[in-house]
Structure 1
């Protein structure tokens, strides 16, 4: 792991990929296209009929790329040169803008249904694993990471030296969430809630205060709505009770997923920003 990754210096927008596709995600999406779509389609021609792959390539050439049918990579006898077409798609994909790459993924997802391929399932796994801000639902690319969520994390990370501990916890939460080699969603959640705890301890000038105690004090001095305080106390309880994240790191009674860690990071960041506005 690189030094910048170990200390948590990752750009939020690079981690939660909403307006870009990094090299690793690009590579894996191409592997999906090649291994889970192209190579799954039979490429053997029978008598004078074109192979199924050739037929699919013609459809892609004419309906996605919208190019002249007589200009598709072909042999001298007119048969589709499928290897050449694969290279054409690869070159186009690697040079396309990030949103154009998703155009192709969406097109192939729709095409994979009649071909009975599990392409969409494999792509969704890649998107989830690489923290892309999108998923495929009913063959359409849908954004699942909102701009407000990213902004909440970015703003929460912008603190002065007084709140360095808060920034450290949030950076570590982001690092645990985005570690491709060994993602640690449990510790990501712990760091997210610890960031709130650290912020509240500084706000109340009580370094030994628990979050529950600090919230009671802040409710009185900073006019936090009771329902909001209760909601966050409940989230804190989720991580701290006898079956919570902090008490069961070595047990399997709680199945912590990427969605849980992301939700806690966004929620804790938003709550820190809310407390900032009350100072």
Structure 2
């Protein structure tokens, strides 16, 4: 992860790949589609005619290229040029073009034919792995790419990072939580969760002016001084329980090996919501 991402100098949307895509992610999606379908058109003259229905449709209806400019399929070099032209068109388009192309392939009548079932299922399996490994902001549900973090959730994280500009310690915890959540080489969801709750601990100590106050004590002070709703206090205390190490006993949640992006994202958003609320409440 680059310096700008580690220390919060890169916008949240860039880190989470909301309005952009990395070269690695684009390349891997293309390669997954190519290996299951397009290579058969390119490599085999016998199969080229069968796959030409798909490739012709990509050429004319997805890429919007003139069909009469397509080269003949009888020569392998010409077929390679056709695929290269399609790739060039997609890679030189907007960042989301590869996602549009993926959905086009997944929903195409040819790829959904019974005799393509094995290739289709393998493509689905590979894409799910790729989206997860490359920390895409989108997941595949019912042949459509769905954003896994909402605009409201993004706004909460952005607001918290802005609101904590004068609270260096709090902001560092939030940046670290975001970094660990979105690290495309080695995401660490467990420690991302702990950093999120540490940010809440830090802001509570700041607003109560008690550096050694436990979260429970800090919440009680805030409740007495600012009228913190009991239900909200209880909810946050329960969230804190997920990452507490009281008496050397770690909560079962953090012992689980299957903590996911969704778990860490939930904690980050929940904690940033509370931080934003608390800063406004105590102004």
Which TM-score tier does this pair reach, normalised by the shorter chain? 0.7 to 0.9
In the alignment, which of 219, 227, 244 is matched to residue 251 of structure 2? 244
Residue equivalent to 1:25: 25
Instruction: Describe how 1:83-94 pairs up with structure 2 within 5 A.
Output: 83-94=80-91
Contact 1:156 1:273 in 2 (8 A): yes
Moved more, 51-60 or 175-184: 51-60
Instruction: Describe how 1:73-84 pairs up with structure 2 within 5 A.
Output: 73-74=71-72, 81-84=78-81
Residue equivalent to 1:194: 198
CA distance in 1, matches of 2:102, 2:211: 50
CA distance in 1, matches of 2:148, 2:37: 24
CA distance in 2, matches of 1:245, 1:196: 21
Instruction: Please give the TM-score of this superposition, normalised by the length of structure 1.
Output: 0.86
CA distance in 2, matches of 1:265, 1:37: 39
Where does structure 1 lack aligned partners over 5 or more consecutive residues? none
Residue equivalent to 1:124: 128
| 1:5 CA drift (Å) | 4.3
Residue equivalent to 1:71: 69
1:263 equivalenced with 2:266 (yes/no): yes
Residue equivalent to 1:230: 234
1:3 equivalenced with 2:11 (yes/no): no
Q: Which whole-Å deviations, capped at 9, do the CAs of 1:58-79 have from their partners, x for residues lacking one?
A: 232233234443332325x699
Instruction: Describe how 1:149-188 pairs up with structure 2 within 5 A.
Output: 149-159=153-163, 162-188=166-192
| 1:207 CA drift (Å) | 0.9
Instruction: Describe how 1:209-224 pairs up with structure 2 within 5 A.
Output: 209-224=213-228
Greater share of residues in helix: 2
Moved more, 79-88 or 114-123: 79-88
1:140 equivalenced with 2:137 (yes/no): no
SS for the counterpart of 1:240 is: coil
Contact 1:169 1:195 in 2 (8 A): yes
Instruction: Please give the TM-score of this superposition, normalised by the length of structure 2.
Output: 0.84
Residue equivalent to 1:113: 112
Contact 2:90 2:98 in 1 (8 A): yes
Contact 1:74 1:80 in 2 (8 A): no
Q: What value does the CA root-mean-square deviation take over the aligned residues?
A: 2.7
Report the number of matched residues: 272
Contact 2:165 2:171 in 1 (8 A): no
CA distance in 1, matches of 2:230, 2:262: 27
Moved more, 86-95 or 187-196: 86-95
